[in-house]
Structure formats: C-alpha cells, structure tokens
Amino acid sequence: MEIVTKKRMMLFSGTAHPGLAGEISQKLGVPLSSMKIWRFASGEIYVRAEESVRGCDVFVIQTHADPVNESLMEQLIMLDAMKRASAKRITAVVPYYGYSRQDKKGLAREPISAKLVADLLTTAGAQRVVSVDLHSGQIQGYFDFPFDHLTALPLLSDYLKNELMLHGDDDLVVVAPDAGRIKTAEKLREALHADLAFLYKRRSRREAHKIDEMAVVGEVEGRPCVLVDDMIDTAGTVAKGAAALAAQGAGPIYAAATHPVLSGKAVQLLEEAPIKEVVVTNTVPIPDEKQFSKLRVLSIAPIIASALRAVFEDTSVSEIFHGENQL
C-alpha cells in the first residue's frame, strides 16, 4: 500500500505573549490553532489542543516572559500534549530563552540552569528549537537536535541606520557593554559601517546585578554611540554605560537590545540615563506601566515567521541572515 501525504503546519500559542504569536500567524498566513489553557484552583496548568495534530508539523510558540517559571512550565505541558497526540514534528519556538544567563558555573555548587531548561524541553517532546539572540551561543550545544538561532541584529541595524541618517548623525561608534558582547557589537559595527568601543565592566562576584567598576575603552568624544546588548534586565549596565560614555563627552547615545525584560527599576533608570532612544524588539511583552517616551519597540514577528516557513519547507534558515546568525 502506498499513501501520498501532505504536510500541514499548525501553530499553537501559550499565554505568555499572544500578541507576538498573532503577528507571526498573520505573517505566515496560518491561523493559530485553538488550544484550551486554564489553571486549576491549586495553580496547576491544564492544556488541550481542540483539534487533531496527528501527523502535523507543530510549532509551539511561548516566550519565557515574567513569570518565567509559569511560562516555561506551560510550554513544557503544551509540548507533552503534542507528543502524546502523535504530532509528526514538534518545534518549540522560544523568542526569549529563560535562564539563558545561567549557562556555566561561576562559583562552586552553582547549577547550569540553561542546560536544565534544554533537558526539560527535550524530555517534554521538542524535536527542534527556534530562539532569538541567546545570551550565550553555547546553549545550542545543550541540544542533540537542530537549534535555529535567529538574530534581531538586521532589524536593529536597519532602524538605527535610518534613524541616524534622518538626524544627520555620522562618525558612529558601536559600544559593547562588556567583553562578552564584543562579537555582537562587531557585527552591528559592520552593518552600520561604524567604529568599535567597549566598556570595561567588573561585576560583583557576591551581589547579583551589582557593577563595581566601569570604564570606556575607545574614542567616543563628540561622536554618536550605540550601546548594544542581548537584553535589558535591570538596566544597570545600560544606564551606567551611558553615564560613562556621557562623561567621556560622547554625542547622542542610543541603546539597542533584543529582549526588553525591564525588571525592577529599569524604566526609571533608562528615563534618567543620558540616552536619546532605547530600541528593542517584542520578544517579550512590555506592559503599559513599562512603556516610556524613549522606548522604541520593533516587531520580531517577520524574522520568526520567515524562519518557521523555512523550517516547514525544509529550506535554509541561515540564508535568511546570509549566514550571520551564529553569534
């Protein structure tokens, strides 16, 4: 007996960021499939796909946004449901990968939580993962199946290029907030045809998010600067970096990042910092109380949608970025 089958793409969204999932759905021209998601009185999560997924190419979209543990657990349960419902291939779409900063041991008796998340996604049923701008590229190696690492740099660079040209800002300097982000800054520098500088940052080894010292390495006096990072969490790095650049006589200062986590007093720090504009993407939702006048949010949906189409059609994802997505 011979049967000719057709591939079918199905998109499912968790509750962490339905707006982004809706945008991805619109870009692909594929409607979001219906899924029942609710909490028991005890807080336990229940999910059920309301249509058959048997033999389908399923994409489960869930960013690990605050509350990160709720978002992660919800995605794991959704993946398990897809696996047990006989989906042909299951792809976890994780715009922001939770626990990505805990990718190695810095002190004795610390966990490697990013690896734990990888193990959980694998055990739950994921057969492929799509994510955007990991804090550390080595996280890809935690998986024994394909991992598509997307980057928002083309989106950020196109916006910044147009913004800088609009205001006549040239002689630009791209600034890495620390040594670990120099490779990212170098790629943005190439896209913007700019010079490169970096900040020497010594963090406290005992107190989280505390920076003991910061200094500018590079020529920034009188020149527009772009501070680039993968995420803005408490905004301490960006705010202190902008202050250090301003103290060196830098021109207008921009901040660019993929993930606007914006924890604690981040909004207040960014509003008070000598920054002209903060450019981010919508990999995580930004509630109304975290919106502020300097913030410019770009949609990552076209990039993710292009990658998902390539995965579904079994074509190259890296060609979307001309091979420049391996950071």
Active-site annotation, residues? 201
CB 234 within 8 A of CB 183: no
Which backbone phi and psi does 129 adopt, to 5 degrees?
Answer: -130, 140
User: For 289, how many CA atoms within 13 A lie in the half-sphere containing its CB?
Assistant: 4
> At 235, is the secondary structure helix, strand, or coil?
coil
User: What is the C-alpha to C-alpha distance for residues 227 and 279, in angstroms, rounded to an integer?
Assistant: 10
Residue carrying the six token digits 């619109």: 26
Other beta carbons within 10 angstroms of residue 194's beta carbon come to: 24
The alpha-carbon radius of gyration of the chain (Å, integer) is 21
For the record, the structure tokens of 254 come out as 């921009």
CB proximity list for 209: less than 8 A, separation 6 or greater: 233, 234, 236
User: What is the C-alpha to C-alpha distance for residues 218 and 275, in angstroms, rounded to an integer?
Assistant: 19
Give the pairing type, strands 89-94 and 128-132. Answer: parallel
CB 295 within 8 A of CB 278: yes
User: What is the C-alpha to C-alpha distance for residues 250 and 225, in angstroms, rounded to an integer?
Assistant: 7
CB 99 within 8 A of CB 113: yes
CB proximity list for 102: less than 8 A, separation 6 or greater: 110, 111, 112, 113, 114
Residues in the chain: 327
